Amino acid sequence: MIPEIGHFALILALCVALVQGILPIYGAAVGNSALMAVAKPAARTQFLLVLTAFGCLAYAFADKDFSVLYVAATSNSQLPLHYRLAAIWGAHEGSLLLWTFILTIWMFAVTLFSTHLPDTMRSRILGVMGLVSVGFLLFMLSVSNPFERLIPAAPEGRDLNPLLQDPGMVIHPPMLYMGYVGFSVAFAFALAALLGGNLDAAWARWSRPWTTVAWCFLTVGIAMGSGWAYYELGWGGWWFWDPVENASFMPWLAGTALVHSLAVTDKRGGFKVWTVLLAIMAFSLSLLGTFLVRSGVLTSVHAFATDPKRGMFILAFLAVVIGGSLLLYAWRAPRVGLGGSFSVLSREGLLLANNVLLVAAMGSVLLGTLYPLFLDALDLGKISVGPPYFDSVFVPLMTPALFLIGVGPLAQWKQAALPDLAKRLRWAFGVSIATAVALPFALGTWTPLLSLGLLLAVWIFSTAVVGVRERVGHVAGDGYVARLAGVPRSYWGMLLAHCGIAVFIVGVTMVKGFETEQDVRMNVGETATIGGYTFRFDGVQDVMGPNYTAARGTFHIIKDGRETAVMYPEKRRYTAQNQVMTEAAIDTGFLRDLYVSLGEPLDDGAWSVRLYHKPFIDWIWGGCLLMALGGVVAVSDRRYRPAWRREPQTVPAGARLASRQIA
Amino acid sequence: MTRFFLPLAIFGIMVGFLAVGLTLNPREIPSPLVGKEAPAFSRQQLHEQDKVFARKDLAGQVWLLNFWASWCSGCKIEHPVLMELAKSGAVPIYGMDYKDQRDEALAWLNRWGNPYQIVGVDLEGRVGIDYGVYGVPETYVIDKQGVIRYKQIGPVTEEALAKTILPLVKELQAK
């Protein structure tokens, strides 16, 4: 009964979504405020309906209802409750429901925080989101229904893929989807602006917090996926340029470009057309990512079940949504007009360069991901594009972009003077060069990449210091502390995000430069030393988990004669699918990780063992978290929130902003 | 004016490719070499570097030639299947380490286990070119006369093994 309620709720949601997608947009076009007023209640109703469906599926999982095909396929009576709930998004159908659910959450949020928007704008935004939702609901109801029954019911479920039975996997997909789907808001804003023809600075200002929040979620989501790959796959890597990873990375690159381009549109009224295109691109790439993962056109470790019918549906949906919005863009964008002029060396110019580099990087990832498919389609053979391609394309594109992080925030709008910039940045440049040359020697090895990485990281840090010093000089207030407090949060947010990138670079550089690993055969009581740490193997015991049996190894770690940690790597056999998983043990530290994974059992209690010493690896994810934190700080800036409430509804925000800029 | 249509045009081309891509199976390629004699090779062995691994040494038996590399994620997927097959002893598996680095290949086999009788080293991919390898992993079934009878593109799955490879191997061994 409960699954049928869920199914029915989805059907109702589809009806509501159709109403929400058609009436308000039409109402906005003809100026009928009654039709426009439908948008808000429709969006909220749709949210409640999809919430109901989601709750029903969750109940089916909690209740171990194996008469639901999806539940039987992805869970098991031995599976602990939290993983049974996470199994909702453990495979195709449920992920789609999560996608749609999150879309309605964003819609609901838009209805809450859009009271300051003109009615036409709000109804168009919600209308566009409603249309996107129509596509997903149709998809679920036609070819991918999570509530499909299995009659007679299975006596036992097939269990969740053991790879996904991990706390990281519980949160990673929702985070990622919050990011993916969050770009739908910026997308809807852009389409609404194109429909209405009012692409002004106010539009950019409204889009900014939404975009930044989505970007934060996406950043954390990707970082968590990478962290999961690191500790769960047992090979110690953190990024593999796998098609599915690329699918999440491309919207991130486009979204990063969008965040910067929105800043220009907001502050200077420039880049309007470009910003709209980026907003369309960021969401289109999210959809494309969904398509690549779901349709099975590419082979990947992550790929879900291959079903050509589903693939065709998503492709058609993609063609309608992206094709339609690009058509709208081609039709309306030429009338938008250009922003103010600026010279090449100005903050606008540098941000434009940043945008071009980010989009070029995104394009090269896209090309690398789809290239095998293109060749295949042209009957030119099958190839796989691997890390060598991405590394060799990505580093040269990102290096100048990272260099610009140091210059951009210090350059004036409109026109900056090179001698002046050079003078302000000279000591930061000196410090960076000196560190890049000297530090690798001090650490023991000098390689060009190591030096380059350190150069860029120190450059970003030191220019941030220069920026803060100058900024404090401009702010009014007595004493240093008061002045620091006077610097707006959006500025701190930007600095924090940029420093996050520097931290990330330090992590990547140090891991690449100094990680050591050893594959050894270890007998009980034997030791192996790596990176100054001695690992003593104290044998393997059999342990029972809730739905697996495991061989658990014990390793004592000794440094400078003192025991610093005990580690327990496991080799698990999940009983339901009879699948073996390597559960690495990781001793996390600020400056290094120790990583042990069990290989194969050899004769007389000996095991093949893989040991890693990974300096600074946690800085990679720490950097990502800092970036996201930067976004959160920026969004909390005063200029976004109270301003909304203070604004009287009668004055169009655009006009006031324009007058402020003239003044 | 036309520049505003550029994104749409690019997207249109992409959709075209994706649509064609959907109708293709990324794992399926007919090989012109099936039914032809397996190209001869003689390569250095991975484990015992002073020995060679040559096709002609394997005449008179049915065997599998598996192209793999330590950098290849698909190889990791098929690896448990190959390990099981090796344990069962149904057919000997010979490996060709394709465009790889020796120490990494050895480490990989050490870590995950070695299903191969012998592994040859194809550092620059010459043997791969002769065999028409598009990407790793690829696996060839070669009969007693040294003729290629089947080519598996991508990972050897349980299904492919049970439905195609093992029946074929039995039939060839009986001849």
- B72/A318 touch (CB, cutoff 8 Å), yes or no: no
The one-character DSSP state at A409 is G
How is residue A147 annotated by DSSP?
Answer: T
Number of domains chain A is built from: 2
Chain A, residues 346-405, CB within 8 A of chain B, namely 370, 372-374, 376-377, 381-384, 386-387
| Residue that is last in its domain, among A158, A186, A211 | A158
Q: What is the CATH number of the domain that holds A23?
A: 1.20.120
Average predicted confidence (pLDDT) for chain A:
86
Q: Give the tokens for residue B67.
A: 């192209």
Query: Quick check: helix, strand or coil at residue A320?
Result: helix
Contact between residue A183 and residue A282 where contact means Cβ atoms under 8 Å apart: yes
Answer with the one of A105, A134, A158 that is the final residue of a domain.
A158
CA distance A373 to A384: 9
Domain assignment present for residue A84? The answer is yes
- Whether cis (ω within 30° of 0) applies to the bond prior to B155 is no
* Residue A277 covered by a domain: no
Token couple for A87: 């199994």
CA gap A659, A336 in Å, rounded: 19
Q: Which domain holds residue B38?
A: 27-174
Per-residue pLDDT at A41 exceeds 70: yes
Chain B neighbours among A 555-594 (CB < 8 Å)? 580
A311 and B77 within 8 Å at the Cβ level: the answer is no
**3-state SS track over B34-49:** CCCECCCCEEEECCCC
Chain B neighbors of A386, CB-CB under 8 A: 71-72
pLDDT digits (tens, 9 = 90+) for A68-94: 999 988 888 888 898 999 999 888 889
Is the residue at A358 inside a domain?
Answer: no
Residue B4, in any domain of the structure = no
Please tell me the predicted confidence (pLDDT) of residue A662: 34
What angle separates helix A308-318 from helix A272-295, to the nearest 10 degrees? Answer: 170
A644 or B57: which leads in pLDDT: B57
Note whether B164 and B150 are within 8 A (CB). yes
> Residue A562 is part of which domain span?
516-616
- B135·A382 Cβ contact <8 A: yes
Residue among A242, A299, A333 minimizing CB distance to B4: A333
Determine, yes or no, domain membership for A536. Answer: yes
The residue among B4, B25, B67, B136 with the most chain A CBs within 10 A of its CB, best to mutate, is: B4
Q: Give a yes or no: residue A138 inside a domain.
A: yes
Q: What is the tens place of the pLDDT at every residue in B81-110?
A: 999 999 988 899 999 998 888 888 998 898
Determine the Cα–Cα distance for residues B61 and B169; give it in Å rounded to an integer.
10
Choose the mutation target among A194, A382, A521, A530 for the interface with B, i.e. most B CBs under 10 Å: A382
Contacts of A312 in chain B (CB under 8 A): 22
**pLDDT tens profile A495-523:** 999 999 999 999 999 998 888 888 888 99
Q: Which residues does B contribute to its contact with A (CB < 8 Å)?
A: 1, 4-5, 7-8, 11-12, 14-15, 17-24, 26-27, 29, 71-74, 77, 80, 107, 110-113, 134-136, 153-154
| Residue A622 maps to a domain | no
Burial of A304 (C-beta count, 10 Å sphere; 0-12/13-18/19+): middle
Interface size, chain A vs chain B, as Cβ–Cβ contacts under 8 Å: 97
CATH number of the domain bearing residue B158 = 3.40.30.10
| Angstrom distance (rounded) from CA A400 to CA A355 | 12
B8 belongs to a structural domain? no
Q: Is A271 among the domain residues?
A: no
Residue B115 lies in a domain: yes
- Peptide bond before residue B39 is cis, with ω within 30 degrees of 0: no
Q: What is the pLDDT of residues A611-663, one digit of tens each?
A: 999 999 999 999 999 999 999 999 988 777 644 444 444 444 444 444 333 33
Please state, rounded to an integer, the average pLDDT across all residues of chain B. Answer: 85
Please judge whether A318 and B15 are an interchain contact, meaning their C-beta atoms are less than 8 angstroms apart. Answer: yes
Nearest CA of chain A to the CA of B15: how many Å?
7
Contact A384 B113 (CB under 8 A): no
Which ipTM did the prediction report?
Answer: 0.78
- Is pTM beyond 0.95? Reply is no
- Determine contact, residues A200/A290, Cβ cutoff 8 Å: no
How many structural domains is chain B composed of?
1
